[in-house]
Chains A and B, each alone.
Chain A
Amino acid sequence: MAENILRVLNEYSGLFIQGIGYTLLLAFIAVTCGTILGTFVALLKMSSNVVLSFIGTSYIELFRNTPLLLQLYIFMFLLPEIGINLSPFAAVSVGLVLNTTAYISEIIRSGIQSVDHGQTEAARSLGLSHVQTLRMVVLPQAMRNILPALANEFVTDIKETSLASTFFVGDLMTTYRTVNGATFLTLEPLFIAGVIYFVLSFTLSKLVAYLERRLRA
């Protein structure tokens, strides 16, 4: 076994490194785009307009209450159906972004609500509009509060992206499948991928915890 692991590492280390790259890239795309879109969805949900609020809430509930893998499948097959032809990587990215958006919008909503209402009142009393108040006063303060949660979402997404391997997009689990296909070894490449996932997630979440303590201090 140990011998096989060394052999796999020796022959396929490039592939594993590529896998790490794609996995990190997918998680990065999901969290950055998800943060931008999630801000809008959070604002929709918090809107005093019943219709907008309903749209925001529906979006969040829909994506949080169905499995990510099912969503990815649907995007994979739905996008070509409606005339959008994307590479598997792009289609998976879209699916991950839309899914992550739902989770991040809830993080952002709680971040916005954690900003003292007096801040909004002070800004509005100066004559600033609702949008100006959000953009200049509330969101910058909310972002500070939610940065740790966003970073944790990134760590979660590193693991979630493994589902993307279903569509062979080059992530770490895709590497496993490629190595498995080439060598007929199963446990060895799985162990390697597992160790890499663990090291990535563990290090990053400890780093987040450290930065969070620094931010609080």
Chain B
Amino acid sequence: MIKFEHISKRFGSLEVLKDVTQQVNQNEIVSLIGPSGSGKSTLLRCMNLLEVPSSGRILFKGEDITAKGVNINIHRQKMGMVFQHFNVFPNMTVEKNITIAPVNLKKMNKEQAHNRAMELLDRVGLRDKADVKPVKLSGGQKQRLAIVRAMAMEPEVMLFDEPTSALDPEMVGEVLEVIKDLAKSGMTMMIVTHEMGFAREISDRVLFMNNGVIAESGTPEKIFENPDNERLKEFLSKVL
């Protein structure tokens, strides 16, 4: 579904991604793990071109979205993204957060969007919060809102950038539950995470990144029980 071909990304003289080639298949759940600064988030953010790769191509359903003249907005509508810091819109009610994109991008009319929003809020237990502003929500509630906001566009793939890293420990569970539910529905997902137990449980494939390259990739069993890469062994010994 998504192919990265020889992706490099430089910030000034710093090379964050070095010639990464990888793909994510339909219905596959891929987790990206690795030390801070290894390029996980940058790779994820390249997928919807929040970071533009310095070189290389990204193919989304066969189309080169890094090509000149491509309207990235069209593709982004099919790729939901969830951020570490939630980034819910504080100037809108919970419901408006969800309906703003589908209504303004002419994907749904107001009534359809409202119904969809309510259905989604129901699924994550926030229906009674529909009319409040996000400032009244806890971190975990904000992140659940951010997830359904992305879901409202009916994306074909979901990108998660450390979705639980900014949460109080006791709120991590509720957010992971929502992501797990999503996984069961067959959503294609790419997740940057430091929650190793979660990555192991949910993923079809785990990629270990270090120093801008994918140092090892494989099934969760392989990565967590029988790693080959020395740096991965060291990493796991510290985080597990």
Interface residues of A, Cβ cutoff 8 Å to B: 116, 118-119, 121-129, 132, 136-137, 140-141, 144
Contact = CB atoms under 8 A, between A and B. Distances in A.
Contacts of A124: 50, 73, 76
B50 A127 contact: no
A148 B91 CA distance: 18
B89 interface: yes
Given A118-B85, A132-B104, A136-B104, A126 B91 contact: no
Given A132-B104, A136-B100, A144-B91, A121 B149 contact: no
B115 to A, nearest CB: 19
A118 B90 contact: no
B74 A127 contact: yes
B179 interface: no
Contacts of A126: 76-77, 80, 100-101, 105, 149-150, 153
Interface string B138-164: 000000001001100100000100000
Contacts, number: 62
B73 A125 contact: no
B25 interface: no
Given A126-B101, A126-B153, A128-B105, A119 B89 contact: yes
Nearest to B91: A140
A122 B149 CA distance: 10
B80 A128 contact: no
B87 interface: yes
Interface in B95-118: 100-101, 104-105
Contacts of B81: 122, 125
A132 B100 CA distance: 10
16 contacts: A118-B83, A119-B87, A121-B87, A122-B81, A122-B83, A122-B87, A123-B101, A125-B81, A126-B150, A127-B73, A127-B75, A127-B76, A128-B101, A128-B105, A136-B100, A140-B91
Contacts of B104: 128, 132, 136
Contacts of B77: 126-127
Interface in B133-191: 146, 149-150, 153, 159
B48 interface: yes
Contacts of B87: 116, 118-119, 121-122
Contacts of B192: none
A132 B80 CA distance: 17
B76 A125 contact: yes
Contacts of B105: 126-128
Interface string B29-47: 0000000000000000000
B16 interface: no
Nearest to A125: B81
Given A127-B76, A127-B77, A137 B89 contact: yes
Contact of B80 (A125, A129, A141): A125
